Amino acid sequence: MNFGRINESDIRTKSYNEFVTFVDEQAEAAIKEIIQSRYPDHGMIAEESENNTNNKQDFVWIIDPIDGTTNYVHSFPVYAVSIALQIKGVLEVGVIYDPSRQELFTALRGGGSQLDERRIRVSKQRTLEGALVGTGFPYRQKKDWLDIYLEIFSEFSQKTAGIRRPGAVALDLAYVASGRLDGFWEFGLNPWDIAAGVLLIQESGGLCENLIPNQDMIESGNLFAGNPKIFDQMKQIISKYGPKLTQLS
C-alpha cells in the first residue's frame, strides 16, 4: 500500500545502485515473523538481514521482500516478493508474488508450477531468432564483468527477436516459467533473487544452468535459463565465453 508514496527520506543506499526502504525492512520482518512462528527451528537467508546465521540448517527459507527495489522507489510497477524453501540443499518450494498485477506464481518440486492455481509451462519457441529473452546488467561488485557481458549482449541482440530488462529478476524467471519470455541470463545475482524462480522454471519444463561450469548456480548467482530448445541455443553462444568467465569468477 506504500507503492507510489516513498519519499527520498525513506530511502537509504546500501551500496552503489542498491537501495533499501522501510517497506523492504517491514515486509521482511513480517515474512520472517510468520515463518518463525510456525517453524522456529528453520534457518533463513533474507536480503535485508545482516546476520543470516541459520543458513546451514536442513530447512532454509530464502527471502527477498521486494525484488526490484529501484523500480519500487521510482513507482515503476515491476517488482515482486520472492520466497523459497530449501531442504538439505535442494529447492523444494518457490513462491513469487507480483502485487502490481496480483499474480501469484508457485512451484513444488515434483508438483509443477502454477500461476494463480493454473498450471504453467515454458514457451514452445524453437529458434533463437524468434525468441524474446530477458537479462539484467552487471553492476555492484560485478563491474569487471561488464565488458564480457556486453559481448554476449551484442551477440544475443543480433540473434534474437528482442531483449528485455525490466529490473526484477524474480519476475523475469517467473516469465520464463510461464512462457512470457523464452530465455534469460544475468551475472552476479544473490540467492534470494533467483531461488524461487529457478524452481519455477525447472517445474514448468525449462532448464537453468550456471554460466560457469562447476559452480553452484544459487550460490554464484550467474545463470542462464530457457525452454529446452532456446536453452541449448543460448548455451552454444555462452559456452564460447567460458574461459573469460572462468577467469573472472
Q: Whole-number mean pLDDT of the chain?
A: 88
User: Can you give the pLDDT at residue 8?
Assistant: 47
Grade residue 162 by pLDDT with cuts at 50, 70 and 90. Answer: very high
Residue for grid cell 533473487: 193
pLDDT of the residue at 12:
45
> What span, in angstroms and rounded, lies between the C-alpha atoms of 155 and 167?
21
- Statement: residue 178 has pLDDT above 50: yes
Q: What is the pLDDT of residues 30-67, one digit of tens each?
A: 999 999 999 999 999 997 665 555 556 899 999 999 99
pLDDT confidence bin for 249, thresholds 50/70/90: low
The lowest-confidence range among 16-20, 57-61, 154-158, 176-180 is: 16-20
Percent of the chain with pLDDT over 70: 85
Could you tell me the end-to-end alpha-carbon distance of the chain, in angstroms, rounded to an integer?
A: 40
pLDDT at 3 over 50: no
What number is the average pLDDT over the span 130-143?
Answer: 82
Give dist(CA 247, CA 17) in Å, integer.
Answer: 25
* Per-residue confidence (pLDDT) for residue 79, from 0 to 100: 96
pLDDT in tens, 103-131: 999 999 999 999 999 999 999 999 999 99
Q: Which domains does the chain have, with CATH numbers?
A: 8-119 (3.30.540.10), 128-248 (3.40.190.80)
Cβ pair 23, 6 in contact under 8 A: yes
- Is 105 within 8 Å of 134 (Cβ atoms)? no
For the stretch 81-95, pLDDT in tens is 999 999 999 999 999
**The 3-state secondary structure of 161-225, one letter per residue:** CEEECCCCHHHHHHHHHCCCCCEEEECCCCHHHHHHHHHHHHHCCCEEEECCCCCCHHHHCCEEE
